[in-house]
Amino acid sequence: MAQKIEIPKGLTPDALVAAHERIAAYVHRTPVLTCSSINAWAGAALFFKCENFQKMGAFKMRGAVNALLQLPKEKLEKGVATHSSGNFAQALALSARLLGAKAHIVMPSNSPSVKKAAVRSYGGQIIECEPTLQAREDTLAQVVADTGATFVHPFNDENVILGQGTAAKELIEDAGPFDYLVAPVGGGGLCAGTALAARFLTKKTKTAGAEPAGADDAWQSMQAGRLIPQTNPQTIADGLRTSLGDKTFPVLYHLTETIIRVSESEILEALKYILERMKIVVEPSAAVALAAVKTDPERFRGKKVGIILSGGNLDLSQELHVY
């Protein structure tokens, strides 16, 4: 018998509203921007929720601070821990610092030094490990055992999902209603939160996930009706190389209309448009959502579409081959 795919019980409209109130003092209410030349290029009326302007440069701040604010004081005092080489590491470090707690971040030894420096700049304690998933999990378990810190998962956590959903909630409040919301899909926390906000706060807004073709585990999982982990992801969108989790997949499965896959050249073209026309800095993962709108004109033509620009931590030292 096939396993039931059920949305976690805690993901309710009231919980989303409560999360938003809880985190309001700790995050920026980021602006919503429009750009007429990008509208003309994409053939739709686009509204960009600029989480690249969020604290530490990405929406991850929302979920991290919401999760930490839900911890009892005695747990928070013992610190928090995660393993990540990306934006969640910085988000957890900064959230912990804002709340006067310690953050232990397990990072692969081959993480770029700029990422380690960013975590340290937010006061995070870095514990290096071998660059394998096994080593990351083992090291994290050891850190938790040694310190009593609470592990916070980067996306497979109800409080994190709800926190990420507050970006879409603000977007709907500030510029809605929309025909569609589009969010990039990595672990699925942002897209799940976006789909929940659309379902809870609107009557007709549909949610589409956007994914690199080279890391299409969400699309594969939707087709199969079960979680299919990502192996060997190949994409410049480094935030989207992760597999879905068992809390995010059911939300996507039930609440998204589709997952749209885009090529690397489509990602870079969208990135170029955002940098050149909107004059804002976003990371490749953020451009994936715009690329999805451009690549699926039948779905979006003439529609009003909200796009979550997930983050702005673009590595300026890398060769982007934008041209």
Residues that bind a copy of itself (CB under 8 A): 52-53, 57, 272, 275-276, 279-282, 312, 314, 316-317, 320, 322-323
* Token pair 């990502």: residue: 230
Question: What is residue 100's three-state secondary structure?
Answer: coil
Quote the tokens at residue 244. Answer: 């879905």
* Shortest Å, Cβ 157 to a copy of itself: 26
* Shortest Å, Cβ 175 to a copy of itself: 16
Closer by beta carbon to a copy of itself, 211 or else 266:
266
Closer by beta carbon to a copy of itself, 53 or else 253:
53
Crossing angle of helices 87-98/113-121, nearest 10°? Answer: 10
Closer by beta carbon to a copy of itself, 259 or else 268:
268
> Taking every pair of C-alpha atoms in the chain, what is the biggest distance, in angstroms?
56
- Between the CA atoms of 164, 165, 167 and 172, what dihedral angle is there, to the nearest 10 degrees? 170
* Shortest Å, Cβ 315 to a copy of itself: 10
* Shortest Å, Cβ 122 to a copy of itself: 11
Whether the CB-CB separation of 193 and 236 falls below 8 Å is answered with no
Closer by beta carbon to a copy of itself, 78 or else 277:
277
* Shortest Å, Cβ 53 to a copy of itself: 6
Task: Compute CA 123 distance to the chain's CA centroid, rounded to the nearest angstrom.
Answer: 22
Closer by beta carbon to a copy of itself, 26 or else 53:
53
Distance CA(77)–CA(285), nearest Å, equals 34
Distance CA(219)–CA(215), nearest Å, equals 9
